[in-house]
Amino acid sequence: MVDILLTHGYFLAEDEKEQAIMKPYPPLGLLYLSAFLKTRGITVEVFDTTFSEREQLLDRLDETQGGILGIYSNLMTRSSVLKIVRAAKARDWSVVLGGPESANYLDEYLQAGADVIVIGEGEVTLTELTTAFRHGKANRLDHISGIAFLDEDGNVVKTQERQKIRDLNSLPFPDRSAIDHGKYLDVWKTHHGASSINLITARGCPYRCNWCSHAVYGFTHRRRSPENVADEMQTIIDQYDPDQVWYADDVFTISHPWLEKYVDELERRGIHRPFETITRADRLHTPESVEMLSRLGCYRIWIGSESGSQRILDAMDRGVTAEQVRKSTKLAQDHGIEVGMFLMWGYEGEEIDDIAATVEHVKLSNPDVFFTTVAYPIMGTEYFEKVRDKVELPIDWETASDRDIVVTDRREKSYYKLADRWLRSEVEASRIQKSDPGRARELMRKATDARIAMERQLVP
């Protein structure tokens, strides 16, 4: 019998959108926990639900009547996690939740059956919790920092904040042997022609974008040494030999001195793997920074542009300018690196002129690919607090996610679909103006029609 079973509740078979995209990655957070717990003499099993069926997890819970089940929760797995919690409790398991979602909804998850919720970084906290449960002291948890639970009267008890791990080099590498990485590699190879594996070089983001959740790492930024990351890269190559990697940091290029040392370290070892990652425009602003990425093997960099309206960017506390986004995009493309761009409609206070500014911004930036979403307020963020009085959830909380939240004075979904049509038509028209002027005129008519339709929706 293992001391703790870890899982995450994401089932690819239940996600139609991801089945179309097919770019799954292993649950690194659980693998870090598994590795750390094992160094403390705790026996661990990881049940990776990604390629499993829900019944398989339930069968595993049936094998052991009682035990400790740790579940990672995020924005999109609420309904799934709640089902697992209830199934586990029905089988006499003690349930510990972690991740940003449960930390934002302590009362709801505890009332739904969770015994304890880990708030923040989980390695040390879960070690102490597992030890307490294992020694029959589950009713004496007040001394454990970084958790929440219900007292005898059903009130939520939240203990003092857990201090973050300062030296990330002290952590063991993720316990990749705990799951079948081959399934992930095969899916990537089959659907995209190249296998891929994820890793992180740092934890946390120090920036203050007010719509972004910092429920786990706060506003800290702690980084592993270049040598430590290079050691993990060598291990990944030796064991799995992926065609490419995904650096899953919040902002990979925060420290240019660190990046320079990392590039030098990989080159010294003869390690080179193509990769993609995420950055901010103000941390990709010099030829030297882009040249380092190119040397390292970056073939695509993702930039959070969010809007082309400086007024909206300032309201978001983005700390960047639209001009910086345009310059960094061109700089990357001039060095042979594709640019992906994230954009957001519907942020508080956005008007049609702001959307027009975004359309013009994307035309000028001309990223290789861009994606749009409609802003949604995540519990625990400043943005949520800003619109709290206008927030409604039209469906039951247990089956919803924060993406289902409705901001009552926001435009209808059809309005943002028209914004998408306007944006994509006009950007494509600008790209083919010289090569296919007839098609460009047709696209501009679509863009104009979309804008007119949006303006009509604005009329009371």
* Domain regions of the chain by residue span: 4-158
Contact present, 125 and 118 (Cβ < 8 Å): yes
* Coil vs helix vs strand at 290: helix
Q: What pairing do the DSSP bridges indicate for beta strands 222-223 and 202-203?
A: antiparallel
pLDDT value of position 289: 95
CATH node for 4-158 = 3.40.50.280
Cα(402)–Cα(336) distance, integer angstroms? 37
Measured CA to CA, the distance from residue 318 to residue 250 in angstroms comes to: 14
Q: Residue 460: its pLDDT value, please?
A: 78
pLDDT attached to residue 140: 77
Residue for token digits 């639970």?
A: 149
In sequence order, the 6+-apart residues with CB closer than 8 A to the CB of 50 are 8, 10, 11, 12, 24, 26, 27, 183, 184
Provide the pLDDT for residue 459: 87
Q: How confident is the model at residue 359 (pLDDT cuts 50, 70, 90)?
A: very high
Which 8-state DSSP code applies to residue 282?
A: G
Section 364-382 average pLDDT: 96
Quick one: DSSP state of residue 43?
A: -
Nearest to 103 by CA among 148, 155, 142: 148
Whole-prediction pTM: 0.95
pLDDT of 137 strictly over 70? no
Give me the pLDDT at residue 78, please. 95
| Local confidence band at 125 (pLDDT 50, 70, 90 cut-offs) | very high
What is the average pLDDT across 74-92? 95
Write the CA distances from 24 to 86, 192, 195, 429, integer angstroms: 26, 12, 11, 33
pLDDT computed for residue 134 by the predictor: 81
Residues with Cβ within 8 Å of residue 415, at least 6 apart in sequence: 454, 457
Rounded CA-CA distance 213/380 in Å is: 7
Tokens of 228: 């430590």
Banded model confidence at residue 139, pLDDT cuts 50, 70, 90: low
Segment 20-40, tens digit of pLDDT: 999 999 999 999 999 999 999
Quick one: what percent of the chain has pLDDT higher than 70?
Answer: 99
Q: In terms of Cα–Cα distance, which of 148, 184, 217, 204 is closest to 10?
A: 184
Q: What pLDDT band is residue 138 in, cutting at 50, 70 and 90?
A: low
pLDDT tens for each residue of 140-149: 798 999 999 9
User: Of the candidates 40, 66, 43, which has an alpha carbon nearest to the alpha carbon of residue 123?
Assistant: 40
Q: DSSP string covering 379-433, please?
A: TTSHHHHHHGGGEE--S-GGG--GGG-EETTSPPHHHHHHHHHHHHHHHHHHHHT
Give the number of other Cβ atoms within 10 Å of residue 399's Cβ.
10
For the beta carbon of residue 55, count every other beta carbon within 10 angstroms. 8
Select from 218, 248, 209 the least CA-distant residue to 375.
209
Residue 378's SS3 state is coil
Record the tokens describing residue 192, joined without a space: 């995209």
Q: Is 223 left (phi over 0), alpha (psi -120 to 50) or beta?
A: beta
pLDDT band at 1 (very low <50, low <70, confident <90, very high): confident
Alpha-carbon dihedral of residues 249, 254, 256, 261, nearest 10 degrees? -30
pLDDT tens column, 307-322:
999 999 999 999 999 9
Q: What is the pLDDT of residue 401?
A: 87
Contact 93, 56 (CB under 8 A): no
- Residue-wise pLDDT tens digits, 272-306: 999 999 999 999 999 999 999 999 999 999 999 99
In tens, the pLDDT along 183-212 reads: 999 999 999 999 999 999 999 999 999 999
pLDDT band of 8, cuts 50, 70, 90: very high
Confidence category of residue 403, pLDDT binned at 50, 70, 90: confident
Residue 437: per-residue pLDDT: 96
Other CB atoms within a 10 A radius of the CB of residue 165 amount to 16
Helix (H) or strand (E) holding 98: strand 93-98
Query: Whose CA is closest to 376, among 211, 161, 159?
Result: 211
